[in-house]
C-alpha cells in the first residue's frame, strides 16, 4: 500500500515537532509547515533518518493566499493529503481590560483563522478520501475559561466548535473523513516557559514558584510531555479510531475531566 501523507502545521517545534516525528514512525510521509525554514530542515533531517519522505514548506498560515499555494504544492509533490494536523498556534493574554486589539487579532488569526484556511484548502485541493483524518490541536482552555487568557481561550473554544461542526458535517455526507480535536493541558514546551514567565509577572512570584503553582493544579502533578499528545494524534489516525469523530479529547493529566 502507498504510504499515507500527513501535513502538519506548526511543525518546527514543541507539540508539532513531536507529532511529526511520531507520524513518521507510523510510516507516513510528512509535509512540514511553519515560518522558520531552518528549523523545518533540522526536523526534516531527523524524519528522513526514519525512512520518511519529507517536504518542508515555509508558510504564514494566517495568509489565506499563501495557504492555498502551500496545499497545492504539497499535493503536487505527494499526490494527496491523508492526514491534516492543524498545530500552528500561539499563546496570548493578560488583564483583558489592558489587552491591545493587535494582540487579540493576532491570537485569533494564528490559532483559529489559520485552522480554517488550511482545512478549507485541504478539503478543496487535498484529494482526501475515506479514511482520511483532520486533527486540530486545541486545548483544555477550549473547554473552560482561562483566567488572564481571554484571547487564547476564545480561539481554542472556536477550534473545538469548528471541529465538532465539521466532524458532524463530514460524517453525515458519507465522506469517510474523521475530524477531531486534541486538547492538551499544560505541556512542557517553549511556549509553556513563556506562559510561566507571564504568570510569574502577573502573580508577582519567580518562575520556579509559578511552575510549582501550575503543577499543583494538575492532578498527576506534572506537565504533559509533547510525545504524549503525539500518541493521541497517532491513535486518531489509526484504523481503530474510525468510529471516533466530532470529539475533543483531553491529554491533560486530569486537569479537565469534561
C-beta neighbour count of 149 within 10 angstroms: 22
Burial class (CB in 10 A: 0-12, 13-18, 19+), 39: middle
Active-site entry in 152, 199, 223, 258: 152
CA dihedral 136, 138, 144, 146 (to 10 degrees): -160
**Contact 177/128 with Cβ under 8 angstroms?**
yes
SS3 88: coil
152 is catalytic: yes
CA dihedral 35, 120, 128, 125 (to 10 degrees): -80
**Contact 17/229 with Cβ under 8 angstroms?**
no
Buried b (16+ CB within 10 A) or exposed e, 62-83: beeebbbebbeebbeebebbbb
DSSP-derived secondary structure letter, 241? G
Residues tagged active-site: 152
Amino acid at each position: 500500500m502507498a504510504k499515507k501523507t500527513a501535513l502538519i502545521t506548526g511543525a518546527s517545534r514543541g507539540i508539532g515537532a513531536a507529532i511529526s516525528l511520531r507520524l513518521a514512525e507510523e510510516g507516513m510521509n510528512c509535509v512540514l509547515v511553519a515560518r522558520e525554514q531552518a528549523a523545518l530542515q533540522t526536523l526534516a533531517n531527523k524524519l528522513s533518518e526514519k525512512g520518511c519522505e519529507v517536504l518542508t514548506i515555509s508558510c504564514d498560515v494566517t495568509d489565506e493566499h499563501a495557504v492555498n499555494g502551500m496545499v497545492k504544492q504539497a499535493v503536487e509533490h505527494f499526490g494527496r493529503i491523508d492526514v491534516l494536523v492543524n498545530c500552528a498556534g500561539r499563546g496570548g493574554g493578560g488583564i483583558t481590560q489592558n489587552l491591545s486589539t493587535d494582540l487579540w487579532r493576532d491570537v485569533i488569526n494564528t490559532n483559529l483563522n489559520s485552522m480554517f484556511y488550511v482545512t478549507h484548502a485541504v478539503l478543496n485541493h487535498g484529494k482526501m478520501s475515506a479514511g482520511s483524518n483532520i486533527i486540530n490541536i486545541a486545548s483544555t482552555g477550549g473547554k473552560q475559561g482561562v483566567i488572564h487568557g481571554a484571547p487564547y481561550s476564545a480561539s481554542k473554544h472556536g477550534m473545538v466548535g469548528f471541529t465538532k461542526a465539521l466532524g458532524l458535517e463530514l460524517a453525515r455526507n458519507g465522506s469517510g473523513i474523521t475530524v477531531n480535536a486534541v486538547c492538551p493541558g499544560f505541556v512542557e514546551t517553549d511556549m509553556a516557559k513563556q506562559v510561566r514567565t507571564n504568570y510569574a509577572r502577573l502573580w508577582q512570584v519567580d518562575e520556579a514558584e509559578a511552575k510549582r503553582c501550575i503543577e499543583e493544579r494538575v492532578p498527576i502533578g506534572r506537565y504533559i510531555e509533547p510525545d504524549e499528545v503525539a500518541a493521541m494524534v497517532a491513535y486518531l489516525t489509526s484504523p481503530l479510531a474510525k468510529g471516533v469523530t466530532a470529539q475533543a479529547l483531553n491529554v491533560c493529566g486530569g486537569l479537565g475531566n469534561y
